[in-house]
A and B are shown apart, each in its own frame.
Chain A
Amino acid sequence: MTRPPAETLERGATPWLFAAALAAVLPHAAHQPAWLSVAAALLFAWSAGLWWRDGRLPGRWPLAALVAAGCAGILFEFRTLFGRDAGVALLVVLTALKLLEMRSRRDATVVVTLGYFLLLTHFLYAQDIPAGLWLPVALCLLTAALIRLHGGSAAGGPRRVLGQAALLCVQSLPFMLVLFVLFPRVSGPLWGLPQDAHAGLTGLSETMTPGSIADLVQNGELAFSVRFDGAIPPRDKLYWRGPVLEHYDGRTWRPHPGRQPAPRVEARSAPLGYETTLEPHRQTLLLALDAPTALPPDFAVDGTLTAKRLQPLVERRRFRAAASLDYRYNADESPVSLRRNLALPPGRNPQARALAESWRTGENGPDGVIRRALALFGSRDFAYTLQPPLLGEQPIDDFLFTTRRGFCEHYAAAFVVLMRAAGIPARVVTGYQGGEANPVDGYLVVRQSDAHAWAEVWLAGEGWRRVDPTSAVAPERVETGVAAALSAGEPLPALVRVRADWLRTLRYRWEALNNAWNQHVIGYDERRQRELLGRFGFPDIDWRGLAAALGAGCGLLLLALLGWALYRRPRHEPVQALWRKALRQLARSGVDCAPWETPVALARRVRERAPALAADFEAVAAAYLRARYGPDGDLAILRAAVARLSSRRRT
């Protein structure tokens, strides 16, 4: 098939397309299976080589085979062609393959359009600062490719093309800002994201087995960040409550599945307000500070004081809450609940039970039992480590009497078993403990490595009391953080263990920057929008008001740009103004004047295309040429000629 020359792709435009496609595909390499990135790189190299040697592009059948192979690979990897991961992978493969099919300008346009779309899909994976910085770079390259594609070699050298693309992007910035600030925000995603959009998120699990929290601690990712209304309270008061685990089968701890009556909390200190920004953890937990006194609207505490809501959290959200650090709750716990928290699996851990029962007799009440247990852990025999030895069939016995090395979940579990064996109702609480204050922006940053497990015991007349057995074996864990409590050989994320001052400062700054980005850009939600608009005097604006503001904002910007363009427009002398008027008349009759076309040539074309106007237009052309190119132009004649042309056209 032959194409008209204007349709064929110019050789000089191809490198631009490679660069643009690469910029769009590159970020996806971070989360794609390696074979896919390698395949895409090979396809890029192949098409670049063909371009370099001016080789023949592969025919239709080889390409079809490659497409089939790509689809098969994606099906094998993801078991589907749809959804976020498989869909993006498919787009990457197709973009790389399209480069092998670049014959006409249309093919190139397809590549650029795919590139714009691929760029957008990057935000399904990352919304952080690097992603935000990469966007303008890639956008610029894609736009430059488009400019080069349509401008041909007359578009100029690379610097000119890139400059023009950058100018276009900069010109679109005000619109982006207006849309960002004013576009109506809805809580929750605007459209349903594919099912797998939030895969691979880490967080607390609903159950606890030995090692489950130790695994989490090796992850330096952010769990949530908090800003307190006042100063940050001391670390050993910062217990962020997650699932409370009451059932024990000898190995795994689970929460009680049934409903429980709402807890009765007696706050004994003034409530402390704070704002927490939760990373998406796909759970319903708020991870509120103990003990919550005020919660965000859609959250409620369950019978074990854990704040939850109905829908899992799939996007980063900000919530306001308040807590009372000194509290008592459920002094009148139901007998059913107490029985549940005394239950031990029959026949398991006999040594531990025997030990606890020996404490029960002769000691001065439950307080004495608790002290003895903590004293046991505090003895020199016990060590705090992320890499405990494997435990056998009787895990608690093994831990207490043989290995004596463990992480917080070992201590919490062993403590609760001892308490229950001694007749004191007790349960395991999981969550986060402490956090790291960032001196740059005053936020408290809580990471997955701050995950923790502790215990709660119920004492008559007092209710549930928090006891953290880890503080007995490794007080640093609670007072300073996990890095101080573990020896240097433990597999902690490097981020958590940074010691050098300058590096630490750098990290604080980077995290503060990230946090500011999360708070103000990613976290710009309905409430922030209302706050901001309220500050500008529009306190109660609904979506209609927003739409109006949006329209007005964009309209004003357009007007400003238009005004600028008009201001920058070359001033036409009256001669040219009249000529342009005549050209407009012609255009309305279906004859357009190319910018390089001379009036004489145009007159010739008018004779063919619009014979009725030919004579009048010829008069205009003659008068215009005389006025513009002659020594003695007469404006009056030109004006008369243009007037006659206009009147002729109307009749």
Chain B
Amino acid sequence: MRLPDLASLAAAPRPFDPVLARAGEVIRGKDEAIRLALACLLAGGHLLIEDLPGMGKTTLAHTLARLLGLQFSRIQFTSDLLPADITGVSIFERERGEFRFLPGPLFAQLVLADEINRATPKTQSALLEAMEERQVTAEGQTRELPTPFFVIATQNPAHQIGTFPLPESQLDRFLMRIELGYPDPAAERSLLAAGGQRARAERLPALLAADDLAKAQQAVAGVHVSPALIDYVQALLAATRRDPSFQHGLSPRAGLALIAAARAWAWLAGRDLALPDDVQAVLPAVACHRLRALPGGGYARPEDIAALIRSVPIP
């Protein structure tokens, strides 16, 4: 009998490998973050990138939009931005004698919401509502947003002056939250030598056909999740609720998010079944912004999640 090896588990086609490779050339040394961002997109969720300015948040969003052939728009959030500025306005056209809706920048397939915590809560909630509903209601009329619809929001660490930190209920709308962090010395050196990457990102070719992304999302949804894996996810959820180092535990919605993200992660690796490894890999990105670490009440840190993983046996 021919016995399998681990590689045989990952035998499904991996059409996104070129995307990952090209993106990695632009944003150097951040393969993990790119993979997480892609997984988030494939799982149909929105992404929150939290980091200091100049770490490549915008470049990442831009690169993904270009490579995936998505229509891209960027909204710079400021404190005087109004909901209509992002959803769009109706103007009266005199020739035709009627109002015409001018769609706002939200009507794009990949929206980069830059520095979301600089906007007022009113504008923030307009964006978050659109993210949840995938539609925009303006002047009594509901308009569908394009599909796929994917928001990458960026946020500077909340202790900066003049910001409105997102409340927990809205953080929950983001499937994942990642930090890019400083590049490692080698990556930084090649970045400094090559000059800014933003222009390069603008010139990237689309690697996917129009409906490839939708097909991929379908395939991700079909990745097998066994009862044993659900047991594991449930054990992790229960552990967050029991663990006194967290203010409160993860919600069932967080559990759903975890499974969806694990599916996408598995699919990106070429597997048609999700493994505990996938759950462990996406857990920090999915759970950190949904948990409050005690004492202090800040986001849970990756160390907390690592400790959590170590406290839960795999069933």
Contact = CB atoms under 8 A, between A and B. Distances in A.
Contact of A626 (B239, B273, B277, B310): B273
A35 to B, nearest CB: 39
Contacts of B274: 629
A153 B275 contact: no
A317 to B, nearest CB: 52
Given A153-B243, A598-B314, A625-B275, A641 B3 contact: yes
Interface string A627-651: 0111100001100110010000000
B276 A153 contact: no
A608 interface: no
Contact of B9 (A598, A622, A631, A640): A622
A600 interface: yes
A615 B6 CA distance: 9
A630 B226 contact: yes
A596 B314 contact: yes
Contacts of B276: 598-599, 629
Interface in B137-182: none
B224 A629 contact: yes
B313 interface: yes
A629 B5 contact: no
B314 A597 contact: yes
Given A595-B313, A603-B6, A641-B3, A12 B244 contact: yes
Interface string B300-314: 000000010111111
Contacts of B243: 153-154
A621 B5 CA distance: 8
Contacts of A594: 310
Interface string B231-257: 000000001001111000000000000
Contact of A156 (B4, B244, B272, B312): B244
Given A598-B280, A628-B228, A154 B275 contact: no
B244 to A, nearest CB: 5
B8 interface: yes
A601 interface: yes
B1 interface: yes
A623 interface: yes
Contacts of A621: 6
A619 interface: yes
B52 interface: no
A623 B228 contact: no
A619 B4 contact: yes
A637 B226 contact: no
Interface in A569-627: 594-601, 603, 615, 618-619, 621-623, 625-626
Contact of B6 (A154, A618, A629, A630): A618
Nearest to A633: B226
A508 B276 CA distance: 67
A59 interface: no
Given A628-B226, A630-B226, A631-B273, A600 B6 contact: yes
Interface in B256-315: 272-277, 280, 307, 309-314
Given A156-B244, A594-B310, A626-B273, A631 B6 contact: no
A157 interface: yes
A157 B243 CA distance: 8
- Chain B CB within 10 Å, residue with most, of A12, A154, A157, A599: A154
A105 to B, nearest CB: 16
B291 to A, nearest CB: 14
B4 A637 contact: yes
A600 B245 CA distance: 29
Tier of interface size on chain B: 20 to 34
A154 B280 contact: no
A630 B273 contact: yes
Contacts of B229: 629
B242 A600 contact: no
A579 B182 CA distance: 41
Nearest to B313: A595
Given A153-B243, A629-B224, A622 B5 contact: yes
A219 B244 CA distance: 54
A152 B276 CA distance: 24
Given A12-B244, A629-B224, A630-B226, A644 B275 contact: no
How would you classify the secondary structure of chain A's contact residues: helix, strand, loop or mixed? helix
A646 B39 CA distance: 38
Nearest to B306: A596
A619 B277 contact: no
A156 B242 CA distance: 6
Contact of B5 (A12, A618, A628): A618
A603 B7 CA distance: 12
B311 A630 contact: no
Contacts of A640: 1, 3
- Chain A CB within 10 Å, residue with most, of B4, B8, B226, B239: B4
B3 A600 contact: no
A606 B122 CA distance: 54
Contacts of A154: 239, 242-243, 307, 311
- Chain B CB within 10 Å, residue with most, of A601, A603, A622: A622
Contacts of B277: 598, 600-601
A622 B8 contact: yes
Contacts of A615: 5
B221 to A, nearest CB: 14
Contacts of A597: 314
A598 B228 CA distance: 13
A629 B244 contact: no
A615 B311 CA distance: 29
B314 A595 contact: yes
A644 B3 contact: yes
B1 A596 contact: no
A635 B224 CA distance: 18
Nearest to B266: A629
A596 B5 contact: no
Contacts of A644: 3
A282 B224 CA distance: 81
B12 to A, nearest CB: 12
B1 to A, nearest CB: 5
Contacts of B314: 595-598
Nearest to A630: B273
Contact of B275 (A598, A619, A636, A641): A598
A142 B231 CA distance: 34
Contacts of A629: 224, 226, 228-229, 273-276
Contact of A637 (B3, B272, B273, B311): B3
Nearest to A154: B311
B44 to A, nearest CB: 22
B5 A619 contact: yes
Contacts of B8: 622
Contacts of A619: 3-5
A178 to B, nearest CB: 34
Nearest to B273: A630
A153 B226 contact: no
Contacts of B275: 598-600, 625, 629
Nearest to B1: A640
B313 A596 contact: yes
Contacts of B307: 154
A622 B271 CA distance: 12
Interface string B13-56: 00000000000000000000000000000000000000000000
Contacts of A599: 275-276
Interface of A: 12, 152-154, 156-157, 594-601, 603, 615, 618-619, 621-623, 625-626, 628-631, 636-637, 640-641, 644
A-B pairs with lowest CB-CB distance, top 6: A595-B313, A619-B3, A154-B311, A622-B4, A630-B273, A598-B276
Given A154-B239, A598-B280, 15 more contacts: A12-B244, A154-B242, A154-B311, A157-B244, A595-B314, A596-B310, A596-B314, A598-B276, A598-B277, A601-B277, A621-B6, A622-B4, A625-B6, A631-B224, A637-B3
12 contacts: A152-B311, A154-B242, A156-B242, A596-B310, A597-B314, A598-B280, A603-B6, A625-B9, A625-B275, A629-B224, A631-B273, A641-B4
